[in-house]
Structure 1
Amino acid sequence: MTSVKEQEAIKKLMAFLQEWDRARKAARSHILDNFIESNSGKTGPELELEFSQGASLFLARLTAWLRMTYMYGTCLDKLLKSIGIFLSAASGRRYLLEFLEIGGVLTLLEILGLSHLREEDKRESVKLLQLVANAGRKYKELICESYGVRSIAEFLATSTSGDAQEEVQLLLDSLGRGNPKYQNQVYKGLVAVLPCSSPRAQQLSLQTLRVMQEVLGEAPRALVQPLLATLRSVHLEVQYEAIQLLRALMACEVRPALLQGLVALLTPPRKEALALASETAQDPAQPCLREPMLLYIQQAAAAKAIGILAKESATVAEELIQLGVVHSLMVAMGNQDHAVSQRHASVSLVYFVRTFPSVEETVRLAVGDTLFQLFMDSPDTWYTKMDSFQAEILASTGGHSPQELATLQATEGTSPGEN
């Protein structure tokens, strides 16, 4: 038989549950406020003591109300926070299992895909998914098997809340660790985020990919183009993370494709293509920054990345030379439409000139002795003193060998180093 004290506790619990069952929205919201204030941070045994060994009965009511009302956003943030108290409770694994048994993961993922719900509500949903993922490998697999990576990555790409995006990064990072069966799926999900329009999402995705790279060891070729495209970003933090990931990938099989892509970015498209892109960008529905300018930003970032990668590895530098990086850098140096491209290209080229004698000969022949000396003395500012003829010579180097350049200069009747 139960003691009088136990009977009183049970009566108190039943009265509380009846109050919940009879309450309407406003009253339930008040109950949730009190529950969150009084029970945040409690352990499983403490919650059982609070609810007279019947905490699961209240959790069942919370999860049932969640499933019935999540599409309408009814007290959703408070409801998710209350469930989070159970899922985060130390020695409370039973609560997690009970939540999963009623399809809790699917409900949380569906919340992320509902455009009419608030970002705060979705953020709380992500926090609960973190608790599930951090519980162990089989729980990470459950999220992935529920098509969770796609839903989570899509939310990262479309979210307008920086705080929510940071929570998503933590979740994806957790799913990518200790989850060998689905870590490639997580990696591909992050790659899929890179073309999105959110610079914060791009930055966080690049950071997480770099961390995952240490675990995977290799990278899919599908990463090459999305990664190089992020160098077009006007946000320096995105460019920085892209270059850091490029550095990490130099030990992978995709290195030749990445280096070839970087060299190709140094050569701008034909003027006709730029003109067409400029006209397209005048469409009010298009971003304000014109396409040619974005291409020049990408060109400058590629030149900067090439300099960094070459200085870190002589092998990489030699591979870049074989890919024609010297001529391509000179093309970028002749780009008078974008001073940043000229500066990064010249700084990178100085390294090749000082390290490889054959490069010095090629560059000297291309620009002439006077301009070459100016270039070597002041790589950061020399291009400001370059005239239009010298710029034209540089811009044409991409399609000419050193011998052809000499012929071109002789035909023009003047040396590119003379004024």
Structure 2
Amino acid sequence: MSSVKEQESVGRLMGFFKEWDNGNKATRCRILNNFIDCNQGKTGPELEQEFSQGASLFLARLTTWLRLSYMFGTCLKEILQSISIFLSAASSGRYKVEFVEVGGILTLLEILGLNQINEQNKVEALKVLQILARAGRKYKELICESYGVRSIAECLAKSKVEETQEQSQVMLDLLAHGNPKYQTQVYKGLIALLICESPRAQQLTLQTLRTVQGIVQTAHTAMVEPLLAVLQSVHLEVQHEALQLIRELMVTDVRSALLKGLVTLLRPSRKENPKNRPQILDDPAAPLISDALPTFIQQAASAKAIGMLARESSELCEELIHLRVIHHLLYAMGNTAHTESQRQASLAMEYFISLFPVVEEQVRMEIGDNLFRMLMENAETLYMRLSKVHIDILLSNQVNILRVKEAPESPR
């Protein structure tokens, strides 16, 4: 009796494969949709039972059609979803090996780089890659060996669709964890992404970098320049992530370089790098905005970062003061071209004055009792009450404090 049932099952399977092999695009799409509807969440043994122990034969047909048709997008979403059912099934190690052995990883990565492939199909390809990455270190290494980090990073940088960007971020995060052989490669790939044009991609990259930094521990010096450049962003969510990463990097080897860079940005050069120019400034429909705006935004963000770091520890305060931060903050307070720079610089200055008597004494002597009193009464609104004389004093200040442990014995 069982032999009869087995023969019937084999007959149904052969009929199924015959329909697939002889079917046109519409027929195959219908078969795939039926398969997706009926087999979501099934285990490996259940799939084998469904296909009379011939599930691998159907998977082989799927991967073959994928490789032949992915450039044309023929039922690509349905193919990828069907493959996902096989690879995500419990006890599906055999299917993963079969998929990888026929070049499945390379095909998925190629899909990410094709301009003619729609974003939803790229999302599906990323989800299949995530299934493999979650299967263990071996698969993560195979993805990285196939130049996966570069392909996924480029997908994140170039995509205009948020879901694609988010799935790319998830994938990079997966590759950074439990993958010691290639975690530095992922880390460097994220650093390279900092200069991409998409604000959302920058935000996601910064979030991931904060996680990956904890894994690699040693910070790469190549991060300093692009990270400081991110402070030019007009998007507050990007600036927030950048400031949080800067704070966390204060316990790494790039601390001194970051502090020096932040202080330098308080007195920026007027020369602007066209590559870092926000696209909004070139929009003919947008209001006329000064070319120097990104530089002033960066100056304000730098002052904000310095105020944030000063509140972290007195040690950071002292290191900043040795970098002449007081002189540069006073200069930024006089920047009438950007009120946020003035506001953030005044708030940071108020904190340094409250912490160190020598700073209080030197600043009072430099800017005069009247302006000093205005600063301490309300640092946040000081910029609204500055006269031309006050601005000249701030811009031409010569404060040069070298020691903060104690105040000088005599005034200058």
Determine the structure 1 residue equivalent to 2:179.
Answer: 179
Q: Distance in 1 between the 2:400 and 2:8 partners?
A: 96
Q: Distance in 2 between the 1:154 and 1:211 partners?
A: 20
Q: Distance in 2 between the 1:90 and 1:199 partners?
A: 38
More displaced stretch, 289-298 vs 314-323: 289-298
SS at match of 2:292: helix
Determine the structure 2 residue equivalent to 1:255.
Answer: 255
Determine the structure 2 residue equivalent to 1:30.
Answer: 30
> What pairs with 1:344-383 in structure 2 (closer than 5 Å)?
344-383=344-383
Determine the structure 1 residue equivalent to 2:67.
Answer: 67
Displacement of 1:401: 3.8
CA-to-aligned-CA distance 1:316-367 (integer Å, 9 cap, x gap): 1111110111111111110111111111111111111100111112221222
Letter in 2 for 1:303: A
Determine the structure 1 residue equivalent to 2:244.
Answer: 244
Over 3 Å counting, the alpha-carbon distance change for 1:70 and 1:287 in structure 2 is farther
CA-to-aligned-CA distance 1:135-159 (integer Å, 9 cap, x gap): 1111111111111100100100011
Determine the structure 2 residue equivalent to 1:413.
Answer: none
Q: Distance in 1 between the 2:355 and 2:76 partners?
A: 62
Letter in 2 for 1:337: A
SS at match of 2:380: coil
Determine the structure 2 residue equivalent to 1:150.
Answer: 150
Q: Distance in 2 between the 1:248 and 1:136 partners?
A: 29
Determine the structure 2 residue equivalent to 1:395.
Answer: 395
Is the Cα–Cα contact under 8 Å of residues 300 and 344 in structure 1 kept in the other structure? yes
Letter in 1 for 2:94: R
Q: Distance in 1 between the 2:68 and 2:363 partners?
A: 71
Q: Distance in 2 between the 1:292 and 1:167 partners?
A: 35
Letter in 2 for 1:318: E
> What pairs with 1:260-409 in structure 2 (closer than 5 Å)?
260-270=260-270, 273=271, 290-397=290-397, 400-401=398-399
Instruction: Give the alignment's Cα RMSD to 1 decimal.
Output: 2.2
Letter in 1 for 2:91: S
Determine the structure 2 residue equivalent to 1:168.
Answer: 168
Determine the structure 1 residue equivalent to 2:409.
Answer: none
Letter in 1 for 2:26: A
SS at match of 2:71: helix
Displacement of 1:282: 12
> What pairs with 1:210-225 in structure 2 (closer than 5 Å)?
210-225=210-225
SS at match of 1:381: helix
Q: Distance in 1 between the 2:113 and 2:31 partners?
A: 28
Displacement of 1:6: 1.0
> What pairs with 1:102-113 in structure 2 (closer than 5 Å)?
102-113=102-113
Letter in 2 for 1:250: M
CA-to-aligned-CA distance 1:182-234 (integer Å, 9 cap, x gap): 10000010111110110111011101110111111111100000111111101
SS at match of 2:170: helix
Q: Percent identity over the alignment?
A: 57
Is the Cα–Cα contact under 8 Å of residues 281 and 290 in structure 1 kept in the other structure? no
Determine the structure 1 residue equivalent to 2:404.
Answer: none
Determine the structure 1 residue equivalent to 2:115.
Answer: 115
Q: Distance in 1 between the 2:98 and 2:226 partners?
A: 41
Over 3 Å counting, the alpha-carbon distance change for 1:402 and 1:324 in structure 2 is closer
SS at match of 1:115: coil
Q: Distance in 1 between the 2:104 and 2:279 partners?
A: 45
Q: Distance in 2 between the 1:185 and 1:197 partners?
A: 21
More displaced stretch, 2-11 vs 198-207: 2-11
Letter in 2 for 1:300: A
Over 3 Å counting, the alpha-carbon distance change for 1:64 and 1:290 in structure 2 is farther
- Structure 1: gaps of 5 or more residues: 404-419
Determine the structure 2 residue equivalent to 1:40.
Answer: 40
Is the Cα–Cα contact under 8 Å of residues 343 and 381 in structure 1 kept in the other structure? yes
Q: Distance in 1 between the 2:217 and 2:269 partners?
A: 34
Q: Distance in 2 between the 1:200 and 1:233 partners?
A: 11
SS at match of 1:160: coil
- Runs of 4+ in structure 1 displaced over 6 angstroms? 279-283, 285-288
Q: Distance in 2 between the 1:287 and 1:194 partners?
A: 27
Q: Distance in 2 between the 1:267 and 1:12 partners?
A: 77
CA-to-aligned-CA distance 1:116-173 (integer Å, 9 cap, x gap): 1101111111111111111111111111111110010010001111111111111111
Determine the structure 1 residue equivalent to 2:201.
Answer: 201
Over 3 Å counting, the alpha-carbon distance change for 1:55 and 1:280 in structure 2 is closer
Letter in 1 for 2:11: K
Q: Distance in 1 between the 2:281 and 2:347 partners?
A: 36
Letter in 2 for 1:348: A
SS at match of 2:231: helix
SS at match of 1:207: helix
Q: Distance in 2 between the 1:322 and 1:287 partners?
A: 46
Displacement of 1:283: 9.5
Q: Distance in 2 between the 1:287 and 1:264 partners?
A: 34
Determine the structure 1 residue equivalent to 2:56.
Answer: 56
- Structure 2: gaps of 5 or more residues: 402-412
Q: Distance in 1 between the 2:153 and 2:400 partners?
A: 49
Determine the structure 1 residue equivalent to 2:228.
Answer: 228
Work out the number of aligned pairs and report it. 397
Is the Cα–Cα contact under 8 Å of residues 203 and 241 in structure 1 kept in the other structure? yes
Determine the structure 1 residue equivalent to 2:15.
Answer: 15
